A and B are shown apart, each in its own frame.
Chain A
Amino acid sequence: MLVDIWEGTAPRPEVERFCEMWGIKGPILLDPDLALAGELGVRGVPTNVVVDADGTVREFGAARLDELERAIESL
């Protein structure tokens, strides 16, 4: 699930343009005030937060594909 942050300007038109350009059709959440990103201490993009079925954070960061795949396999 994508979570949009740090657009600076209004996020909706920017997200719309982004989805069109990259053909993204999945769910997208908007966090313009950094309510979640700020609490988690997100410092850059992309940042992947992998959450297990108990709601526990299992991986944080994982910008590289191999890191993300390893995190998913370990769930």
Chain B
Amino acid sequence: MNMSLWHFFTDPVLRAPAIGSMLLCMVSGLVGVLVFLRKRSLLGESLAHATYPGVTGFILLAGFLNLQEVLSGLILIGAFLSALIGYWVIDCLEKKWKVSSDASLTAVLAFFFGAGITIASVAQHQFPNLYRQMQTYLYGQAATMTDIHIVIYGVLALCVILFIAIFYKELAALLFDTPFAAATGIAHRFLEMTVFCVVVLTLVIGVRCAGVILMSAMLIAPAVSARQFTNRLSLMFVWSALFGALGGFLGIYSSVVLSQSFAGHYSVPSGPMIVLVSGSIALYALLFAPKRGLVIRYIRIAKFRAACVQENLLKAIWRLNQEGCAIDIPLLIKKIGFPSFYLRLILNRLIKQKTLYREGVFYHLTRLGIKNGARIVRLHRLWEAYLVYSLGLKIERVHKSAEEMEHILTPELEEKLTLLLDDPKKDPHQQPIPEVVR
């Protein structure tokens, strides 16, 4: 079968899982921002596991009472109830018994999950059908969604978006400054309860798609990715929703395509695939996001270091030029001590920047080179003058700081310093401070 992307939105079988998981992951992206910024991402993890006894218990109950028609509703109620109990226990442990937060989260997670599995084992031999159904909630089963799920997830998405839009200001206050929120008369306890209910509701509805074990990833991954791209809360919600939806769709897409390309020999589970894709997106964002990505950060640092080296070399050449030396490579090696290969590399870069030109074995500064070199020396000496005259530091201790600051000072700062020091002609070492070359 030929699979185009568009196919995933029109085909009656594929439509529901694709759109459904997109909507669900979008919602969990939005909700994830709330827990991520409060640094309680792992609460989602515990509560998702805590839904399992509710799920298995109510499936079993429905099996005993022959309530197959309202099964999905019952499962929702059961999951919600047991997540609430889980939260209550965590809260009690933390506040009444002063158990540390991580231990109480883990204890509740492990105990509830164990209880859920015990309940599931009741059905194992007696009701194989129910048991299979319980197992699908472990890893989720996005592939068997129907159109009704699109409606449910759509309504959920709408509610969450409306909630965030209406209470945006209050949420921002609550997330970043709870005492302020309380002081300005925001009903922060009520709001906190509502946020908590929204989180649990999303978890409960989402476990069918992603499973109790992996549901928390759907909350964390999009928020992590979104945080890399923005510093604004509003944009973070948008990015997170986008990343969530993208992860949901690509997860389903890759699961279907991979399963099909192996002609049914292997089936790739959709829930873990969604998590895997979302996790990869988050990893990509952590490494390569503009500004905050690790690799980008390192590249920026490396660029800055290279610029410093170039400026230092230019400064040295300018000084030698002032002294009237003819500048060639042996002289520079003697003065600076770079290895010859590295030195040639930087010299070539400076030539490319049109600050140097070469005549035979000698290098000469261009007009631009003279201007730039003078500026660096000027900044260096201005800073030394500032440290000594204005801050009263000892003369022999200012050189090191000036070596660093000469690369950082901006033209505005230079102007301010000039004004402050009344346009000095000499630095503390009695060296002339070069004039600004226009």
Q: Real complex partners, A and B?
A: no
Residues of B bordering A, CB below 8 Å: none
Residues of A bordering B, CB below 8 Å: none
